[in-house]
Amino acid sequence: MVIIRDSKKLNPEFPVRIDIHDLKRSDNDEETLIYSEAMELSVIENGEGVFITGGEEHEVKPGDLVIFNNAEPHRWDVRERELELLQLTVSMDFVSPFSYTFPESILRSFIEKGSNFLNLVDGKNPNSVIIHTLMQEIYREATIGDDGHELLISADVLKIITLLFRYFKADKTAVGGGKLFSEKTDAIKDFAEILNYINSHYKEKVSLDETADRIKMNPAYFSNYFKRIIGISFSEYLSVLRIRRACELKETSDMSMTEIAAECGFRNISNFYRIYKKYAPDN
């Protein structure tokens, strides 16, 4: 398994985007999870399938609403031929200017996963139906692009955030020590950058303490936070990245296993074989 950043770009001047995605069964990729630095809301328009996040699988049907928080790794599996999504992507940079008018408990729901946060809202739930209608209005405004469309879209996005807050009834135990909203969104961005750092430097000596220090986080807290967000521990994720690369080199190069181990960041060949046996796809 590898976790990569979503390549979708948001306009920094108006960081809200809405798209229709037609996912194909042939596109299913069990080895890759995607994360975004923005909140993603998807309504299932047609088809059936599942989404995977935090190591758990959830079935979806037309009308269901699926929410992924910032930096929350996930993937979709299409069970029929196609799965059509209406997907709204909202950067926390869009919400930040409203942080003094929204209660912190509303905003907190979308930047830190509390115990009451749910990724899936059933399509029969009244909130889900209203949000679906608002997203269709956003799609129409974005497609037509008439004067004032960004203002109308902004109003609909804020309605959606408020409706979701009402649905979740935010976890009041996760206040986070009274941190300002801007500080929390900065922490989310830092965590996304950490994933990029690990993906780029896994061949080197990467320690949990050093990585936590890059975003000024206590190592023990960072370890728990990483596992809560990603679904596996820091060391497991690092091992998976290294073994994935080792398998690629084994198939595409003439390098010996000792050379492959060194190339993938292993300093001890016996440790490499132990981890290879545990995480290689054929095992």
Q: What are phi and psi of 249, to 5 degrees?
A: -65, -35
Confidence of residue 258 (pLDDT cuts 50, 70, 90): very high
Task: Average the pLDDT over 18-22 and give the result.
Answer: 95
108, 77 Cβ separation under 8 angstroms = no
Q: What angle do the packed helices 269-279 and 234-252 form, to 10 degrees?
A: 90
What CA–CA distances, in Å, run from 277 to 243, 262, 270?
9, 17, 11
Does the pLDDT value for residue 177 go beyond 50? no
The confidence score (pLDDT) of residue 69 equals 80
SS3 assignment, position 53: strand
**For the domain with range 202-279, which CATH number is right: 3.20.20.450, 3.10.20.30, 1.10.10.60, 1.10.132.10?**
1.10.10.60
Confidence of residue 259 (pLDDT cuts 50, 70, 90): very high
Task: Average the pLDDT over 197-217 and give the result.
Answer: 87
Higher pLDDT, 46 or 98: 46
Query: In the numeric block, which tokens belong to residue 136?
Result: 């269709």
Dihedral (Cα; 107, 111, 114, 118), 10-degree rounding = 90
Does the pLDDT value for residue 170 go beyond 50? no
Confidence of residue 281 (pLDDT cuts 50, 70, 90): low
The architecture that CATH gives domain 2-168 is Sandwich (2.60)
Confidence of residue 244 (pLDDT cuts 50, 70, 90): confident
Confidence of residue 249 (pLDDT cuts 50, 70, 90): very high
Ordered alpha helix ranges (H), the chain: 92-95, 104-108, 126-144, 149-168, 181-201, 208-214, 219-230, 234-252, 257-263, 269-279
The confidence score (pLDDT) of residue 130 equals 93
Confidence of residue 165 (pLDDT cuts 50, 70, 90): confident
Q: What angle do the packed helices 126-144 and 149-168 form, to 10 degrees?
A: 160
Q: What is the pLDDT of residues 105-148, one digit of tens each?
A: 555 555 555 444 568 889 998 889 999 999 999 999 999 999 88
Domain map (residue ranges) of the chain: 2-168, 202-279
Q: By percentage, how much of the chain surpasses pLDDT 70?
A: 82
Same fold, 2-168 and 202-279: no
The whole-chain average pLDDT of the chain stands at 82
Q: What is the pLDDT of residues 62-109, one digit of tens each?
A: 999 999 887 788 999 998 888 999 999 998 778 766 655 555 555 555
pTM for the whole structure: 0.65
